[in-house]
Chains A and B, each alone.
Chain A
Amino acid sequence: MRAGAVIVGGGQAGFEAAASLRSEGFQERITIVGEEPHLPYQRPPLSKGFVLDTHGLDEIELRPAAFYEQHRIDLIVGERVVELDRQARHIRVASGASIPYDALVLAVGARNRTLPVDGAELDGVLFLRTLDESREIKTRLQDARDVVVVGGGFIGLELAAVARSLGKTVTVIEAQARLMPRVVAPVISEFYDRLHGGRGVNVLCGSTVTEIVGDGRKVRAVTTARGRTFPADLVLVGIGVIPNVELAQGAGLRVGNGISVDDRLRTSDDAIYAIGDCAEHPNTYAGGRIRLESVQNACDQARSVAASIIGRSAPYSALPWFWTDQYDVRLQMAGISQKYDRVATRGSIDAQKFSVFYFRDERLVAVDSVNRPADHMIARRLLASRTAITPEQAGDETVDLKKIGR
């Protein structure tokens, strides 16, 4: 290797891939090309502590600038990669320079899905993915009074909790029949509906936004399909993301719901890998191909790809886990719950401390824990070791889960 490893994307996956390559003994050049004009940083606080000012910028940067020098990682920020030439094995950035690679890692992430209604471009309609967008939301929240959140997923609900804790009037509009419908069971959706309702948030499920109304350029209200209008001086939209496949697609790599990779996270070109939010990968816990948007997935895939580049390739097999913090309630998720056919609940929903165990064909496939951190950690072990457990055991508090399978 001469040109070394080039990583496109300066998010947590890209950073972790570079750091892992070095810590695993990779001696060649490592280059990260990031589009945002910042050192690589963590995204989870952007919808929580960073907006509330409990996390400062220096706490969310993954490493200080000196780290990259010390570890001989060439960090290029504020540069967009516009072309991938697989024959010549180089990438070209917007400012014109070409960067050769021996191994290329696409950690290009995803971008926000836009809201296809009139008024979505009005001043005061904000989306959240980047540090700059989070800063803008933080600034705008200071003077806002009526906040409408479009989308009742993790990002929308975390922002709703933040806005409400700052004393704003908050309405959440979710198109599906319940909150976080793609990822949690109805019992958890209902819990979060009551949680937000109890804090004074107006939660509307099964409601579609049809128009954002402005006063000149400035947002004034949000209208739904049922003809209801909600005043708004700030609209926060969190309705999911679209993976950034264009660079890969333009180079003729296989893409699906993301950049398609095999179990070594290799694309259809042996010298090119894809990891993190953009990678559609085979996942044993999902029982098929999936694309995951999480810190765990970003970091574990980054380490896996570093091992592959170094020549110690092994199938990617990490257990997916996620979390969301809303008010003082933490939801921790382990495994992939989709396609479950039975659930068992452990603990007390009223006491706001419970876990939902998801089963498919009598096998445990996922566990969601609300303020039950011990259950979550045990669940990770049970799932990763494929330990047999019955719904009856899961739901019975007199059964010590720590002892199961040991």
Chain B
Amino acid sequence: MPTVVFVLPTGESRAVDVPPGTTLMNAAVKHGVDGIIGECGGVCMCATCHVYVRAEFLDRLPPIKDTEEAVLEVTNAERLPNSRLSCQIKMTDALDGLTVDVPPSQR
């Protein structure tokens, strides 16, 4: 099963096995990764599952749709070029090893 690594603001890394088709947000919530909240349930309404994607994985991700783009405008932590909503990234085998940084705040 492909793995995602969440790097917390404390520097601690949490590796989580994610079944293909599951979103990063769902996997993080399921495994109790602090700092990924997913208040709206993963429908691009709340901006509480914001992550920074490590550069080497950026071009393997699905493109940012209008709904995600709009929500990225209102993230609590600063939006950076590698900002994504983890509810919009579904796991695939090709993303094995995907590493994302959890921002210091979500709301």
Contact = CB atoms under 8 A, between A and B. Distances in A.
A313 B42 CA distance: 30
27 contacts: A16-B39, A42-B41, A44-B43, A58-B26, A58-B30, A59-B26, A64-B30, A70-B32, A295-B39, A295-B40, A296-B46, A321-B45, A323-B40, A323-B45, A325-B43, A330-B67, A332-B45, A373-B44, A373-B66, A373-B70, A374-B69, A374-B70, A376-B70, A377-B70, A377-B71, A380-B74, A402-B73
A88 interface: no
Interface in A257-300: 295-296, 299
A335 interface: no
Contacts of B94: none
Interface of A is mostly: helix
A209 B86 CA distance: 45
Query: Which among B29, B45, B66 has the greatest number of chain A C-beta atoms within 10 A?
Result: B45
Contacts of B44: 373
Interface in A235-263: none
A58 B26 CA distance: 9
Q: Which 6 A-B pairs have the closest CB atoms?
A: A373-B70, A374-B70, A377-B70, A373-B67, A42-B41, A377-B74
Given A55-B41, A321-B45, A373-B67, 8 more contacts: A44-B43, A64-B32, A295-B41, A373-B44, A373-B70, A374-B66, A374-B73, A377-B74
A323 B46 CA distance: 11
A381 interface: yes
A10 B82 CA distance: 36
Interface of B: 26, 29-30, 32, 39-46, 66-67, 69-71, 73-74
Contact of B39 (A45, A299, A332): A299
A183 interface: no
A330 B46 CA distance: 14
A325 B46 CA distance: 15
Contacts of A295: 39-41, 45-46
Interface residues of A, number: 30
A381 B70 contact: no
A76 interface: no
Contacts of A330: 67
A66 B70 contact: no
A373 B30 contact: no
Interface string A393-406: 00000000010000
Given A377-B71, A377-B73, A380-B74, A67 B43 contact: no
A16 B38 CA distance: 12
B41 A60 contact: yes
Interface string A360-376: 00000000000001101
Interface string A44-88: 110000000001001110111011001000000000000000000
Contacts of B45: 295, 321, 323, 332
